[in-house]
């Protein structure tokens, strides 16, 4: 059974930082891209960032470029999202996802094969 378990969400003031973690288990993810999506109240689900599991290639949505960094630790089967210079509009539930394809395809097509349960990120102004 595939499991993606997120952690690291919370409440932070605008301009602050948070680091989200996603621990993957249940299968070998060497052929999967890993990524993050977010869902804010009243909005559609939005792709945030993705990374190829083995190659390290990354892909970001424009609104987080220069502020967010996605990385992975293959030995720990864990993916991270470092979020700096947070803004109130970053407030959302953040979901970890796995996709059997490339990081770019995950970002362009905005799909995934597996999803985590989500972690809340709230940025106060």
What integer pLDDT is reported at residue 28 of this predicted model? Answer: 73
C-alpha to C-alpha distance for 101 and 118, rounded to whole angstroms = 22
pLDDT at 74 over 90: no
DSSP β-ladder status, 92-99 and 114-115: antiparallel
Q: What is the pLDDT of residue 55?
A: 63
pLDDT at 94 > cutoff 70: yes
CA distance 76 to 73: 5
Rounding to the nearest 10 degrees, give the CA dihedral for residues 13, 116, 42, 84. 30
Q: What is the structure's pLDDT at 116? A: 96
How confident is the model at residue 27, as a pLDDT? Answer: 76
Residue 100 above 70 pLDDT? yes
pLDDT tens-place string over residues 11-54: 999 999 999 999 998 877 778 899 999 999 999 999 999 999 77
Band the pLDDT of 2: cuts 50, 70, 90: confident
Res 21: pLDDT = 98
- Which strands sit side by side in the sheet containing 68-73, from one edge to the other? 3-7, 18-25, 78-83, 68-73
- What pLDDT is stored for residue 99 in this prediction? 94
Least reliable range by pLDDT among 9-13, 31-35, 65-69, 116-120: 31-35
Count other C-beta atoms under 10 Å from residue 74's C-beta: 12
Rounded distance between C-alpha atoms, residue 23 and residue 74, angstroms: 10
């Amino acid at each position: 059974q595939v499991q993606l378990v997120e952690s690291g969400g919370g409440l932070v003031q605008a301009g602050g930082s948070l680091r989200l973690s996603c621990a993957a288990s249940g299968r070998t993810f060497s052929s999967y891209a890993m990524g993050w999506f977010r869902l804010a109240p009243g909005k559609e689900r939005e792709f945030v960032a993705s990374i190829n599991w083995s190659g390290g290639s990354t892909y970001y949505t424009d609104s987080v470029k220069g502020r967010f960094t996605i990385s992975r630790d293959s030995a720990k089967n864990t993916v991270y999202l470092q979020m700096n210079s947070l803004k109130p509009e970053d407030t959302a539930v953040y979901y970890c996802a796995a996709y059997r394809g490339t990081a770019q395809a995950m970002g362009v097509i905005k799909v995934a094969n597996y999803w985590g349960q989500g972690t809340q990120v709230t940025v106060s102004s």
